[in-house]
Amino acid sequence: MSQVAAVHPGVEPAESPLTPESWGKLGMWLFLAGDAMSFGGLLAGYGAIRFGSADWPVPAKVLGIQLTALMTFLLICSSVTMVKALSAIRKGDRRGLVRFLLGTILGGVIFLGLQAYEWTHLITTVLPPQGLTFTQHLFGTTFFVLTGFHGMHVTGGVIYLSCIAVQGARGKYSPERNDPVELVGLYWHFVDLVWILIFTFVYLL
Protein backbone atom coordinates (compact mmCIF):
# COMPACT_ATOMS: atom_id res chain seq x y z
CA MET A 1 0.00 0.00 0.00
CA SER A 2 1.42 3.38 -0.88
CA GLN A 3 2.44 5.73 1.87
CA VAL A 4 -0.18 8.17 0.70
CA ALA A 5 -2.98 5.62 1.07
CA ALA A 6 -1.69 4.73 4.52
CA VAL A 7 -1.77 8.33 5.65
CA HIS A 8 -5.08 9.19 3.97
CA PRO A 9 -7.34 6.19 4.47
CA GLY A 10 -10.20 8.08 2.83
CA VAL A 11 -8.43 7.57 -0.47
CA GLU A 12 -8.72 4.14 -2.03
CA PRO A 13 -5.49 2.18 -1.98
CA ALA A 14 -3.92 2.82 -5.36
CA GLU A 15 -4.31 -0.03 -7.79
CA SER A 16 -0.95 0.75 -9.30
CA PRO A 17 1.84 3.29 -8.93
CA LEU A 18 0.34 5.02 -11.96
CA THR A 19 -3.00 5.84 -10.33
CA PRO A 20 -3.13 9.45 -9.18
CA GLU A 21 -4.06 9.92 -5.54
CA SER A 22 -6.86 12.28 -6.26
CA TRP A 23 -9.76 11.44 -8.56
CA GLY A 24 -10.56 15.11 -8.73
CA LYS A 25 -7.14 15.96 -10.06
CA LEU A 26 -7.33 13.16 -12.60
CA GLY A 27 -10.72 14.40 -13.74
CA MET A 28 -9.66 18.01 -13.98
CA TRP A 29 -6.49 17.16 -15.89
CA LEU A 30 -8.45 15.03 -18.33
CA PHE A 31 -10.85 17.92 -18.85
CA LEU A 32 -7.97 20.34 -19.33
CA ALA A 33 -6.34 18.00 -21.84
CA GLY A 34 -9.54 18.05 -23.88
CA ASP A 35 -9.88 21.79 -23.52
CA ALA A 36 -6.28 22.16 -24.61
CA MET A 37 -7.20 20.33 -27.78
CA SER A 38 -10.02 22.81 -28.38
CA PHE A 39 -7.66 25.73 -28.10
CA GLY A 40 -5.02 23.79 -29.99
CA GLY A 41 -7.43 23.24 -32.83
CA LEU A 42 -8.30 26.92 -32.97
CA LEU A 43 -4.66 27.97 -32.81
CA ALA A 44 -3.58 25.42 -35.42
CA GLY A 45 -6.39 26.55 -37.71
CA TYR A 46 -5.37 30.15 -37.14
CA GLY A 47 -1.80 29.25 -38.04
CA ALA A 48 -2.82 27.45 -41.21
CA ILE A 49 -5.02 30.35 -42.33
CA ARG A 50 -2.43 32.98 -41.55
CA PHE A 51 0.42 31.01 -43.09
CA GLY A 52 -1.48 30.70 -46.36
CA SER A 53 -2.64 34.28 -46.46
CA ALA A 54 -1.17 36.83 -48.83
CA ASP A 55 -2.36 39.99 -47.12
CA TRP A 56 -2.18 39.34 -43.39
CA PRO A 57 -1.39 42.54 -41.47
CA VAL A 58 1.32 42.69 -38.84
CA PRO A 59 -0.57 42.13 -35.57
CA ALA A 60 1.79 44.30 -33.52
CA LYS A 61 0.85 47.24 -35.74
CA VAL A 62 -2.92 46.70 -35.59
CA LEU A 63 -3.42 45.50 -32.01
CA GLY A 64 -2.42 47.29 -28.84
CA ILE A 65 0.60 45.49 -27.41
CA GLN A 66 0.89 47.65 -24.32
CA LEU A 67 -2.62 46.93 -23.15
CA THR A 68 -2.23 43.24 -23.91
CA ALA A 69 1.08 43.12 -22.06
CA LEU A 70 -0.74 44.54 -19.04
CA MET A 71 -3.45 41.89 -19.43
CA THR A 72 -0.80 39.18 -19.57
CA PHE A 73 0.88 40.54 -16.45
CA LEU A 74 -2.50 40.65 -14.72
CA LEU A 75 -3.28 37.02 -15.42
CA ILE A 76 0.17 35.94 -14.27
CA CYS A 77 -0.38 37.88 -11.02
CA SER A 78 -3.76 36.22 -10.59
CA SER A 79 -2.09 32.84 -10.97
CA VAL A 80 0.27 33.82 -8.16
CA THR A 81 -2.62 34.83 -5.89
CA MET A 82 -4.30 31.53 -6.76
CA VAL A 83 -1.27 29.53 -5.76
CA LYS A 84 -1.01 31.56 -2.57
CA ALA A 85 -4.67 30.85 -1.81
CA LEU A 86 -4.04 27.12 -1.97
CA SER A 87 -0.90 27.50 0.09
CA ALA A 88 -2.89 29.43 2.71
CA ILE A 89 -5.61 26.83 3.20
CA ARG A 90 -2.99 24.09 3.36
CA LYS A 91 -1.63 25.90 6.41
CA GLY A 92 -5.11 26.38 7.81
CA ASP A 93 -5.26 30.10 7.04
CA ARG A 94 -8.92 30.47 6.04
CA ARG A 95 -8.87 34.25 5.85
CA GLY A 96 -5.80 34.08 3.65
CA LEU A 97 -7.56 31.60 1.39
CA VAL A 98 -10.55 33.90 0.87
CA ARG A 99 -8.39 37.00 0.52
CA PHE A 100 -6.18 35.46 -2.15
CA LEU A 101 -9.17 33.94 -3.97
CA LEU A 102 -10.76 37.39 -4.07
CA GLY A 103 -7.49 38.73 -5.44
CA THR A 104 -7.55 36.11 -8.17
CA ILE A 105 -11.16 36.94 -8.99
CA LEU A 106 -10.28 40.63 -9.11
CA GLY A 107 -7.47 39.89 -11.55
CA GLY A 108 -9.86 37.97 -13.76
CA VAL A 109 -12.52 40.66 -13.67
CA ILE A 110 -10.07 43.43 -14.51
CA PHE A 111 -8.72 41.27 -17.35
CA LEU A 112 -12.23 40.92 -18.75
CA GLY A 113 -12.82 44.64 -18.39
CA LEU A 114 -9.62 45.42 -20.28
CA GLN A 115 -10.56 42.92 -22.95
CA ALA A 116 -13.99 44.52 -23.31
CA TYR A 117 -12.31 47.89 -23.70
CA GLU A 118 -9.83 46.49 -26.22
CA TRP A 119 -12.59 44.85 -28.25
CA THR A 120 -14.70 48.00 -28.28
CA HIS A 121 -11.74 50.07 -29.39
CA LEU A 122 -10.91 47.61 -32.16
CA ILE A 123 -14.48 47.14 -33.36
CA THR A 124 -15.42 50.82 -33.45
CA THR A 125 -12.18 52.58 -34.29
CA VAL A 126 -9.25 50.48 -35.43
CA LEU A 127 -10.46 47.65 -37.64
CA PRO A 128 -13.13 49.14 -39.94
CA PRO A 129 -10.86 51.67 -41.68
CA GLN A 130 -8.37 48.91 -42.41
CA GLY A 131 -11.00 46.46 -43.62
CA LEU A 132 -10.07 43.99 -40.92
CA THR A 133 -13.36 43.52 -39.09
CA PHE A 134 -14.84 40.19 -38.07
CA THR A 135 -16.71 39.85 -41.36
CA GLN A 136 -14.29 41.60 -43.67
CA HIS A 137 -11.07 39.74 -43.09
CA LEU A 138 -9.95 36.49 -41.49
CA PHE A 139 -7.60 38.51 -39.32
CA GLY A 140 -10.63 39.89 -37.50
CA THR A 141 -12.49 36.59 -37.52
CA THR A 142 -9.65 34.58 -36.05
CA PHE A 143 -8.76 37.29 -33.54
CA PHE A 144 -12.25 37.57 -32.08
CA VAL A 145 -12.92 33.84 -32.09
CA LEU A 146 -9.63 33.07 -30.33
CA THR A 147 -9.74 35.84 -27.75
CA GLY A 148 -13.50 35.43 -27.31
CA PHE A 149 -13.25 31.71 -26.68
CA HIS A 150 -10.52 32.41 -24.14
CA GLY A 151 -12.54 35.25 -22.60
CA MET A 152 -15.44 32.87 -22.10
CA HIS A 153 -13.09 30.58 -20.23
CA VAL A 154 -11.99 33.46 -18.03
CA THR A 155 -15.61 34.37 -17.33
CA GLY A 156 -16.44 30.79 -16.42
CA GLY A 157 -13.34 30.70 -14.26
CA VAL A 158 -14.36 33.85 -12.40
CA ILE A 159 -17.75 32.30 -11.65
CA TYR A 160 -16.11 29.03 -10.61
CA LEU A 161 -13.64 30.90 -8.37
CA SER A 162 -16.50 32.84 -6.79
CA CYS A 163 -18.28 29.61 -5.87
CA ILE A 164 -15.13 28.26 -4.24
CA ALA A 165 -14.55 31.58 -2.48
CA VAL A 166 -18.06 31.48 -1.02
CA GLN A 167 -17.49 27.93 0.20
CA GLY A 168 -14.14 28.98 1.60
CA ALA A 169 -15.70 31.88 3.45
CA ARG A 170 -18.20 29.44 4.94
CA GLY A 171 -15.31 27.43 6.32
CA LYS A 172 -15.79 24.37 4.16
CA TYR A 173 -12.07 23.88 3.50
CA SER A 174 -9.22 22.86 5.79
CA PRO A 175 -5.64 21.61 5.61
CA GLU A 176 -7.10 18.12 5.33
CA ARG A 177 -9.82 18.88 2.85
CA ASN A 178 -8.91 21.39 0.16
CA ASP A 179 -9.13 19.45 -3.08
CA PRO A 180 -11.72 21.83 -4.59
CA VAL A 181 -9.32 24.72 -4.10
CA GLU A 182 -6.56 22.83 -5.83
CA LEU A 183 -8.88 21.97 -8.71
CA VAL A 184 -10.05 25.53 -9.33
CA GLY A 185 -6.39 26.48 -9.23
CA LEU A 186 -5.59 23.98 -11.97
CA TYR A 187 -8.36 25.43 -14.15
CA TRP A 188 -7.23 28.99 -13.55
CA HIS A 189 -3.58 28.25 -14.30
CA PHE A 190 -4.71 26.55 -17.50
CA VAL A 191 -6.57 29.72 -18.51
CA ASP A 192 -3.39 31.72 -17.81
CA LEU A 193 -1.29 29.26 -19.78
CA VAL A 194 -3.58 29.48 -22.81
CA TRP A 195 -3.42 33.25 -22.69
CA ILE A 196 0.38 33.08 -22.68
CA LEU A 197 0.15 31.12 -25.92
CA ILE A 198 -2.50 33.37 -27.48
CA PHE A 199 -0.49 36.45 -26.53
CA THR A 200 2.54 35.03 -28.27
CA PHE A 201 0.93 33.66 -31.41
CA VAL A 202 -1.81 36.20 -32.07
CA TYR A 203 -0.31 39.46 -30.81
CA LEU A 204 3.44 39.10 -31.05
CA LEU A 205 4.31 36.68 -33.81
Partner 1 sequence: MATAHAEPNYMAIFGWLFVLTVVEIGVIFLPIAKLLIAIMLVGLAISKAALVAMYFMHLRFERRTLAVIAATPMLLCVLLVFALLPDHSAVPHQSAASSPRPAAAPK
CB nearer partner 1, residue 47 or residue 148: 47
CB 195 within 8 A of CB 149: no
CB nearer partner 1, residue 120 or residue 136: 136
Nearest distance in Å: CB 95, partner 1:
19
Task: Compute the distance between CA of residue 6 and CA of residue 12 in angstroms, rounded to an integer.
Answer: 10
Degrees, nearest 5: CA angle 195-36-45 = 80
Residue 183 makes contact with partner 1 by CB under 8 A: no
Residue 33 makes contact with partner 1 by CB under 8 A: yes
Q: For the chain, first and last CA: distance in Å?
A: 50
Nearest distance in Å: CB 13, partner 1:
14
Residue type, 102: L
Dihedral sign, Cα of residue 51, residue 54, residue 60, residue 63: negative
CB nearer partner 1, residue 124 or residue 135: 135
Looking at residues 63 to 122 of the shown chain, list those that interact with partner 1 (rule: CB under 8 A). 65, 69, 72-73, 76-77, 79-80, 82-84, 87
Looking at residues 141 to 170 of the shown chain, list those that interact with partner 1 (rule: CB under 8 A). none
Q: Which stretch binds partner 1 (CB under 8 A): 117-125, 149-157, 162-170, 179-187?
A: 179-187
List Cβ neighbours of 140 (8 Å cut-off, separation of 6 or more). Answer: 127, 132, 133, 134
Nearest distance in Å: CB 125, partner 1:
17
Dihedral sign, Cα of residue 152, residue 155, residue 161, residue 162: negative
Burial 86-101 (b: 16+ CB within 10 A, else e): bebbbeebbebbbbbb
Contact footprint for partner 1 (CB under 8 A): 4, 7-8, 17-21, 25-26, 29-30, 32-34, 36-37, 40-41, 43-45, 47-49, 51-55, 60, 65, 69, 72-73, 76-77, 79-80, 82-84, 87, 131-132, 136-139, 182, 185-186, 189-190, 192-193, 196-197, 199-201, 204-205
